[in-house]
Amino acid sequence: METITVERRDGVVTLTLNRPAKKNAINGAMWGELLSVFDEVESNPDDRVLVITGAGDAFCSGADLTDDDSGDRMEGGVGASVARMRVVGQCALRLHEMHKPTLAAVNGVAAGAGLNLALGCDLVIASDQARFSEIFSKRGLSIDFGGSWILPRLIGLHRAKELVFLADIIDATEAERIGLVNRVVPHDDFRAAVTTLADRLAALPPIQVSNSKRMLNQSFSVSMAEALEMEGISQSLSFATRDTVEAIMAFMQKREPKFEGR
Task: Give, rounded to a whole angstrom, the gap between the first and last alpha carbons of the chain.
Answer: 32
Helix (H, G, I), strand (E, B) or coil at 51: strand
DSSP bridge partners of 91: none
Residue 162: phi, psi to the nearest 5? -60, -45
* Cα–Cα distance for residue pair 113/134, rounded to 1 Å: 8
Residue 107: phi, psi to the nearest 5? -90, -15
Report the mean per-residue pLDDT for the chain. 94
Residue 112: phi, psi to the nearest 5? 55, -130
Q: Is the pLDDT of residue 26 over 80?
A: yes
Q: Supply the Cα-derived Rg of the chain in whole angstroms.
A: 19
* Cα–Cα distance for residue pair 203/194, rounded to 1 Å: 14
Residue 186's pLDDT is what?
A: 98
Q: Residue 243: name the closest of 215, 217, 216, 204 by CA.
A: 204
DSSP bridge partners of 5: 16
Q: Say which range, 17-31, 78-92, 107-121, 195-209, has the weakest mean pLDDT.
A: 78-92
- Overall average pLDDT of the 186-207 stretch: 97
Q: Is the pLDDT of residue 69 over 90?
A: no
Model pTM score: 0.93
Residue 114's pLDDT is what?
A: 97
**Cβ-contact 49, 11 below 8 angstroms:** yes
Residue 224's pLDDT is what?
A: 96
Helix (H, G, I), strand (E, B) or coil at 127: strand
Q: What is the pLDDT of residues 204-223, one digit of tens each?
A: 999 999 999 999 999 999 99
Q: Is the pLDDT of residue 187 over 90?
A: yes
Residue 26: how many CA atoms within 13 Å on its side-chain side? 27
- Reported as a pLDDT band with limits 50, 70 and 90, residue 90 is very high
* Cα–Cα distance for residue pair 192/93, rounded to 1 Å: 29
Helix (H, G, I), strand (E, B) or coil at 67: coil
- Reported as a pLDDT band with limits 50, 70 and 90, residue 75 is low
**Cβ-contact 149, 128 below 8 angstroms:** no
Q: Residue 125: name the closest of 200, 22, 62, 63 by CA.
A: 200
- Reported as a pLDDT band with limits 50, 70 and 90, residue 85 is confident
